[in-house]
Amino acid sequence: MSGPVGSGGTGVPGTPWLRVPDHAEGRIRLFCFPFAGGGAAAYRPWVPLLADVAQVLPLHLPGREARRREALVRDIDVMARAVADALAPWCREPYAFYGHSMGALLAHRTVAVLQRRGLPLPALLFAAARRPPHMPPDLPLVHPLNRRELAAKMRNLGATPERILEDEALLDVFLPVLRADFEMGETASPWRTDAPLAVPIVAMGGQCDGVRRAELSDWRLHTSKSFACRMFAGGHFFHLEHPEAVTAGVRQFLAPDPRTLSALAQSGHSIKE
């Protein structure tokens, strides 16, 4: 994504967590949380696809890409507090969160931190390819796997380039990040269903993913506002396989008029399935 790390004309302090160009009036800020082992680059194709309605702002998490020399984080609540600290200056309505897999859990925890702090909340939370936060992680756990098993798991999921899986030096860089991210997701304490967020949630899933629609539908237990569920062709990384279709689905909920989106967030009206 173009633009230096910093304020980008926004009038707020710079941060390594975001690359923030000048904000275009009338567009919603869409903060995108990566999947385990992923980085901000995964959302680069979304930038032109949503350019007329949203400013796509992928998060740059510690330990990868330009922040690869920073210490990895293994506790999702520690990460959520750090993300909330970093995003607070940009949490001006209207904005939205999209989180994929581990990123969906991190986005949910970040909203919870913002809510506890009394800060402006996102108008929408898109939670993709992740069971809702009250459910325990799938077994067997991934983060304790040895090097060979972890690489095989990534090959089966299908999003990791083969050149990385076949290069021992690249694996030395990639696998620690991946392991830390899985540890964040798999050691997170289950979230109580009696502590819903005051934010509408749109759950998204791949039709060939192991996360089933019935599980995704239980994200409705985590909002006191509106809820919808959308399914797309593809597997766990359906947003990489079919970016045009997924961004079209996102676009349906990002109203052209930001005031409309803000009103939806406050109303509690149902989103039609």
Helices (H) and strands (E) in the chain, counts: 10, 6
Could you tell me the sign of the dihedral formed by the alpha carbons of 178, 130, 243, 3, in that order? negative
The Cα–Cα gap between 196 and 204 comes to 18
Angle in degrees, CA 76, 38, 218, rounded to 5: 55
Is residue 158 within 8 Å of 206, Cβ to Cβ?
Answer: no
Which H/E stretch holds residue 33?
strand 28-33
Is residue 101 part of the annotated active site? The answer reads yes
The single residue of 7, 101, 224, 262 carrying the catalytic annotation is 101
Nearest alpha-carbon partner for 128 in 29, 45, 228: 228
Residues forming the active site: 101
